[in-house]
Amino acid sequence: MSVKDRFLDYVRYDTQSDETTGTMPSTAKQKILAQRLVDDMQAIGIADAHMDEHGYVYGTIPANCEKKNTIGFIAHMDTSPDFSGENVKPRIIENYDGKDIVLNEDLGIVTAVKDFPALEKRVGKTLIVTDGTTLLGADDKAGVAEILQAAEDILKNDLPHGTVKIAFTPDEEIGAGPNEFDVEGFGCDFAYTVDGGELGGMEYENFNGASAKVTVKGRSVHPGSAKDKMINASRVAMEFASLLPVREVPENTEGYEGFAHLLGMQGEIEHAELHYIIRDHNKAPFEARKEKFRLAAEFINHKYGRDLVTVEIKDTYYNMKEMILPHPEILETAKAAMRQNGVEPVISPIRGGTDGARLSFMGLPCPNLCTGGENAHGKHEFAVLEDMEAIVEIIKTIIAIVE
């Protein structure tokens, strides 16, 4: 089997996670792919491959030579709830010509080079795209396919390797991937998540992340006699939003710049809700961003003379940098593996989170590697086949050179 075949197969499984269910995994359909992965792992010789009751998949490639370290590779099975992952229809574009890509002629959906200039660097490559009605699922089924293809190559060719552990997690996209991860049972000295973007990417810094739920209570009165009586919760919610820094949002920030991102809002006169995520790479401004939410609520409640607004903030993960830097050999191994395969490492901060962030704080140092997928979480997502094949080789090289 090839990494292309695996990827095209896995993206057809609908595995969207759902933060509203309160279950683990958050959607039962993730277990369908999980069982398929167990079957595939056993078919290539990973005898202990299994799925636990929470939908995690684990397996071991036993050592065939002596190595000091046990290493792991981790990818997530779920796709983002931000865009449909049902009935994915991947399409292959060979020898991409650098022009706009018509995803769906009937619906007029086009991936334009002016909007996604990174396409200019993909001329001559083989792209895997969507039909414009769903996301693709390269985040992170590209990582899943690459890890399994590397495992198959190692086992089929009896390449020298120490003990290698593999894990596939549910619910990463809703920040719950590590919730039930068995770090002790996984038994690794360190691991890599394969959950990044374009070829060469390697990350060991990520946002500190939190979620914020803003609830507004209103009071409904007939509009004909509402003066000095009605409190329109939806309007108060908009007033709350206006008190946050208007430029500190995802569409205006990059690099190490943080933001507050409004994910969604629902409102009527009596009740309204705003749902945010809060992100910053550094702890002090991260705490300051959360405080701005609390101060905005205090201001409105003082203005109206009543407790209309409540804010619930929950931390979800922290910057793994402080857990990775004490182990520089993990980064150096990945850099060396990339260079041995003609790829220059590009180290940059993750403008998001990854299972590796929380796993690092759970005792498993876990930087992140590229997958060859780009434009995640939407209809313009694509994967570069040649890059995916290169990442398979990088994983195999890491396994070969780790001490």
pLDDT of residue 354: 81
pTM of the model: 0.86
Work out the mean pLDDT of the chain and round it to a whole number.
96
Q: Which residues are catalytic?
A: 78, 172
**β-pairing, 373-374 with 259-267?**
unpaired
pLDDT of residue 4: 98
Does domain 3-206+319-401 match CATH 3.40.630.10? yes
Is 130 in contact with 91 (CB distance < 8 Å)? yes
Q: DSSP alpha helices (H): ranges in 77-227?
A: 138-157, 183-186
Q: What is the pLDDT of residues 9-28, one digit of tens each?
A: 999 999 999 989 999 999 99
What is d(CA 121, CA 107) in angstroms, rounded to the nearest whole number? Answer: 27
- CA distances 206 to 56, 76, 80, Å, are 23, 17, 18
User: Any idea which architecture 208-317 has in CATH?
Assistant: 2-Layer Sandwich (3.30)
Ranges in the chain annotated CATH 3.30.70.360: 208-317
Question: C-alpha angle with apex 380: 317 to 281, nearest 5 degrees?
Answer: 25
Ranges in the chain annotated CATH 3.40.630.10: 3-206+319-401
pLDDT of residue 77: 98
C-beta atoms surrounding 342 within 10 Å: 8
Q: What is the pLDDT of residues 289-306, one digit of tens each?
A: 999 999 999 999 999 999
Length of the chain, in residues: 403
Structure tokens at 73: 């590779």
Residue 256, classified by CB atoms within 10 Å of its CB into exposed (0-12), middle (13-18) or buried (19+), is: middle
pLDDT of residue 316: 85
pLDDT of residue 317: 86
Is 335 in contact with 279 (CB distance < 8 Å)? no
pLDDT of residue 129: 98
Q: At 323, which amino acid appears?
A: M
pLDDT of residue 64: 94
Q: What is the mean pLDDT of each run of 10 residues along the chain (403 residues)?
A: 97 96 97 98 98 98 95 98 96 98 97 96 98 97 98 96 98 93 97 96 93 97 94 98 96 94 96 97 96 98 97 93 94 97 94 87 96 96 98 98 94
Q: DSSP alpha helices (H): ranges in 158-203?
A: 183-186
Structure tokens at 193: 């998540």
pLDDT of residue 117: 95
- Locus of tokens 């060859």: 372
